[in-house]
Structure 1
Amino acid sequence: MGARLGLLGASLAGGLGLLAALHAPRACADGAAVPSPLEPPSVTRTVVNYAVPEIALVRDDGRAVSLHDELDDGRPVVLNFIYTTCPGICSLASHVFSELQRRLGSESDRVHLVSISIDPEEDTPARLREYARRYSAGPGWRYYTGTAGASIAAQRVFDVYRGDKMGHTPVTLLRLTPGAPWVRFDGYATVDLLIKELHGQGEATASFIRP
């Protein structure tokens, strides 16, 4: 298992092309089942309306903010849930965001990448800033923590709360404009898939970036 994860890490360091070869979701827990390399990638896309309330969070710069206000600043949002000591899916999800940011280039500040910690007791703003540096996060990618109750509330809004951080699964959420439905990807959403959605080439979406 350790050798296999080491190989994945080496591939990730060379680029995000490996995500096309990643398969069904794996949990962060040690000993979780690893899918067969012969299985095809599995990503489920659904369109969902989520009502986001005024949940008090703390941004990686130490500023107290409202989740609702942060998500409704007018930009498209791509959101995930992570924790900094997660050895598996969080690293893969963060590499996807890092590569997405790189691929967007000069457009990257026009997309709000949001990573919310599901381990707020450990993930202080300082720790999140360190984690952000690891993935070369630019100004358009912000990390959020807060109280345990606030983190759980945020997870419940997007139906990702699983009761234990070790059992969480990969979910990426994307919304083009405030008030629009969210596109939810259960599984490993690739950079190409997210770019396609942002360019309005997904299923029944509008475009925010013009080719």
Structure 2
Amino acid sequence: MRPGAALAAAALALAISSAARFTPAEGKAPRVERMKIGGVSREDDAAAARYFTNTELVDQHGRAHRFYDGLLRGRKVLINFAFTSCKGVCPTMTANLARVQALLRARGQAVTMLTITVDPENDTPAALKEYAAKFKVGEGWYFLTGTPENVATVLKRLGGQVRRPDEHTMTLLVGDTSTGMWLKAFATEEPEALARAVQHLNDPR
């Protein structure tokens, strides 16, 4: 691995691992942590593929996807963590992100949304499909499960691995793998603020 690509992968790991230390935003603008990870070079893309891995996950329709090649490469993505039997914040997060998706679609913003279960032993594709239907989610939103080992691999890479499902974070990861720009916020921030952050993710700083 070239030094620049190795540094990018290490920086991504550091950025995502700090998600639990986030503090909620005050007012309407979400407080986010922004970091540039790589870019569009072949070396950076290869480093990103190695970091995120092509671990197989399965969506709510029973379709298998290679994680990086099938869901991340060349896309602007929003990623959060939840589980279908959650009695806490999961329904609130999902409903909130459904509003974000509607705002982005109305503005012609092409984004992919990924909700990864933290309870793969119980969250079958059928359970995830039923859960997603409750929130009337649109196309391009994948609710993902898989073998416990595969899900754990991906969660660990994203900073979402927990000992028990109810310990999962409210972190929302927003990234553009075509530019290497990523940010973290809370999935419960105001929909307008999150939509604006997504739209302006690649703005010069």
TM-score of the pair, normalised by structure 2:
0.72
1:156 Cα deviation from its structure 2 partner: 0.7
Counterpart of 2:32 in structure 1 is 45
Counterpart of 2:154 in structure 1 is 154
- Is the contact made by 1:75 and 1:111 (CA closer than 8 Å) also made in structure 2? yes
Amino acid at match of 2:33: T
Query: Structure 1 residues 156, 116: closer, same or farther in 2, change over 3 A?
Result: same
Cα shift readout 1:74-133 (whole Å, capped 9, x = no counterpart) = 331011011001111211110111111222234567111111111111111111111110
How many pairs were matched up?
168
Counterpart of 1:11 in structure 2 is none
* C-alpha distance in 2 between matches for 1:190 and 1:57: 29
Instruction: State whether structure 2 residue 176 is matched by structure 1 residue 189.
Output: no
* C-alpha distance in 2 between matches for 1:131 and 1:188: 18
1:142 Cα deviation from its structure 2 partner: 1.2
- Is the contact made by 1:60 and 1:129 (CA closer than 8 Å) also made in structure 2? yes
In structure 1, runs of 5+ residues without a counterpart are 1-23, 26-38
Match of 2:203 among 199, 202, 206: 206
Cα shift readout 1:34-68 (whole Å, capped 9, x = no counterpart) = xxxxx957965223547311111111111111111
**What pairs up with 1:55-74 in 2 under 5 angstroms?**
55-74=55-74
Instruction: State whether structure 2 residue 128 is matched by structure 1 residue 142.
Output: no
In structure 2, runs of 5+ residues without a counterpart are 1-22, 38-47
Counterpart of 1:31 in structure 2 is none
- Is the contact made by 1:176 and 1:198 (CA closer than 8 Å) also made in structure 2? no
* C-alpha distance in 1 between matches for 2:106 and 2:186: 28
* C-alpha distance in 2 between matches for 1:138 and 1:99: 10
Cα shift readout 1:170-200 (whole Å, capped 9, x = no counterpart) = 1100013435132112573331222111221
- Is the contact made by 2:30 and 2:193 (CA closer than 8 Å) also made in structure 1? no
* Seq. identity, %: 26
User: 2:52 is paired with a residue of what secondary structure?
Assistant: coil
Counterpart of 2:170 in structure 1 is 170
Q: CA RMSD in A?
A: 2.7
The structure with the greater share of residues assigned to helix is 2
TM-score of the pair, normalised by structure 1:
0.70
* Greater Cα offset, 100-109 or 74-83: 100-109
* C-alpha distance in 2 between matches for 1:96 and 1:142: 16
